Amino acid sequence: MAKQTTVLELDLNNDGDFADANEDISAYVRGQIPYSRGRDYASQLSGRSIGGRLSCRLKNDDGRFNSLLTTSPLYPNVKPGRRVRLRATAPTAATIWQGFLDRILPVPSLDRNHEAELTAVG
């Protein structure tokens, strides 16, 4: 059985295509990418819809995911509301999860292995 290959993308310039430079952030992902799927219609029991969630840790040694760092190659585009997409490329191509960036919080480290925590809803 073939191993699933995934790609995590962040639509930094908000143009809807995920095809621009720096929008594939898969190389920065550390560990697994846990996600849950939501429901876009209200429950008949509670009358509420439930949003899906995705979170992961990103390598941030150069500070690229710090929204206020003007020397970051992503500045000033790390903002809440940007589209996030997780998709499989192998063994078959499919979108697994999509939503919107809630926040990216830098997680400093004493050993210089800085990370950022990405949280998205959708």
pLDDT, position 116: 95
- Looking at residue 44, its pLDDT comes to 62
Nearest 5°: the CA angle 17, 84, 106 is: 125
Partners of 5 in the beta sheet?
90
Give the pair of three-digit tokens for residue 122: 């959708």
Walk along the chain (122 residues) and give the pLDDT tens digit of each residue: 567 799 999 999 999 899 999 999 999 999 999 998 876 665 666 666 678 899 999 999 999 999 899 999 999 999 999 999 999 998 889 999 999 999 999 998 888 889 999 999 98
Q: For strand 29-30 and strand 94-107, is the pairing parallel, antiparallel, or unpaired?
A: unpaired
How many whole angstroms separate alpha carbon 86 and alpha carbon 98? 6
pTM of the complete model: 0.86
Q: What is the pLDDT of residue 90?
A: 86
